[in-house]
């Protein structure tokens, strides 16, 4: 398969949300124009995004809602569930554990780790915060494909090295540092300030 850009993948995620809304509204078809409008893009872009993955929809009739939703779930790897471990029981970790959107998409936070004795043993959203020393033994018992790192900047790389050694292949990083990982591990950085910077850019360049 050819290399698909991150922005195409992000738009597919958005289209899936609109398709799910359409489903709850009992709708059976949707046009590329409508998906485009909801996603703030053009019909041509919608058709192009989908064309990477085969042929969908009928000219003049649009897309069949449940069929397209199911195809996008396939493409995004969302037909299965994911066991996710979270390292870092700080403020951000706390918000993430409660975040409803993860479970809805099949991402189950299965364990939380911290190194702070005051946090270890406390209960968060039904999970008990575990000592990060148990990371290796826990992951040996139950593998996780995805980890969320929400530690302070100075411990993130060390935590990531340990996760990678335990076979974690995808990391969502909230720590404000670049991370080094082997080529077969994928890292996504979430940087709140960076999002605000695209806004300040827009404000400065009106």
Question: What does the chain look like in DSSP terms, one character per residue?
Answer: -PPPPHHHHHHHHHHHHHHHHHHHTT--EE-HHHHHHHHTS-HHHHHHHHHTT---SBTTTBEEHHHHHHHHHHHTT-SS-EEEEEE--SHHHHHHHH-HHHHHTTEEEEEEEES-TTTTT-EETTEEPEEGGGHHHHHHHS--SEEEE-S-HHHHHHHHHHHHHTT--EEEE-SSS-----TT-EEEE--HHHHHHHHHHHHHT-
Smallest distance from its own copies to CB 21, Å: 9
Q: Is 24 in the site for its own copies (CB under 8 A)?
A: no
CB 163, min distance to its own copies, A: 13
Task: Using the rule CB under 8 A, give the single segment among 24-32, 62-70, 126-134, 188-196 that binds its own copies.
Answer: 188-196
In angstroms, what is the minimal distance from the CB of 118 to its own copies?
Answer: 17
Q: Which of 42, 51, 122, 200 binds its own copies (CB under 8 A)?
A: 200
- 101-130: which residues touch its own copies (CB under 8 A)? 101-102, 104-105, 107
Which residue ranges make up the site for its own copies (CB under 8 A)?
1, 6-7, 9-10, 12-14, 17-18, 38, 75-78, 82, 84, 91-92, 94-96, 98-99, 101-102, 104-105, 107, 145-146, 169-172, 176, 178, 184, 186, 188, 190-206
């Amino acid at each position: 398969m050819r290399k698909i850009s991150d922005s195409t993948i992000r738009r597919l995620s958005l289209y899936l949300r609109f398709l799910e809304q359409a489903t709850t509204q009992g709708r059976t078809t949707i046009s590329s124009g409508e998906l485009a409008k909801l996603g703030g893009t053009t019909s041509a872009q919608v058709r192009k995004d989908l064309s990477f993955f085969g042929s969908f929809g009928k000219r003049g009739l649009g897309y069949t809602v449940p069929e397209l939703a199911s195809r996008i779930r396939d493409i995004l790897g969302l037909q299965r569930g994911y066991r996710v471990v979270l390292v870092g029981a700080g403020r951000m970790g706390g918000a993430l554990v409660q975040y409803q959107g993860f479970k809805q998409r099949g991402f189950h936070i299965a364990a939380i780790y911290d190194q702070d004795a005051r946090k270890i043993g406390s209960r968060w959203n039904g999970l008990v915060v575990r000592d990060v020393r148990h990371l290796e033994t826990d992951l040996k018992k139950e593998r996780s494909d995805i980890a969320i790192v929400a530690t302070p900047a100075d411990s993130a790389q060390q935590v990531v090295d340990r996760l990678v050694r335990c076979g974690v292949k995808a990391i969502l990083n909230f720590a404000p540092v670049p991370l080094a990982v082997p080529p077969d591990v994928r890292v996504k950085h979430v940087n709140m300030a960076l999002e605000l910077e695209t806004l300040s850019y827009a404000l400065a360049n009106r």
